[in-house]
Structure 1
């Protein structure tokens, strides 16, 4: 499934979702597609995670639906495929 979202530019950016993301939505602490997209649009922190053979983008954002909670979204190296999104209880300490 691909969903467009407007991120500061004139044209919307289209995000894709991994099979893992789509299957893990029912796990406790994971968020749905629209919440993940809103967290990306409202990102307050971005870092690159270098793994063995690939790099992933890790963004932290907040959404109106869950005030005071941080949501971490993991994007694959292409910056367009959402692999995971979850409530990050440690983000507040890390962002100080």
Structure 2
């Protein structure tokens, strides 16, 4: 898995419980994908092994270099209200 320096030095330390296989799963099996204004790509997926929580993975514009990864409570809440795909 390719990562940015930001991910290696900050994001991975801030969210140590996120497993690399969950990040890879999210990139390949997203329920939603969105290109941000800065060209980075956001991917969201429910991680069953994490009690169905929603993982948001931000990649660079290449779609594979991971810049950030975190559990997105707001997306999960919108899913529960039927406002986001499951």
Which structure 1 segments of 5+ residues have no match? 4-15
**Equivalent pairs, count:** 79
**TM-score, normalised via structure 1 length:** 0.69
**TM-score, normalised via structure 2 length:** 0.76
Is 2:74 the partner of 1:90? yes
Structure with bigger helix share is 2
Regions of 4+ moved over 3 Å: none
Structure with bigger strand share is 1
Higher relative contact order (CA 8 A, sep 6+): 2
- RMSD (Å) for aligned C-alpha atoms: 2.0
Following TM superposition, by how much is the alpha carbon of 1:25 offset from its aligned partner in structure 2, in angstroms? 1.3
Could you say what secondary structure the match of 1:71 adopts? Answer: strand
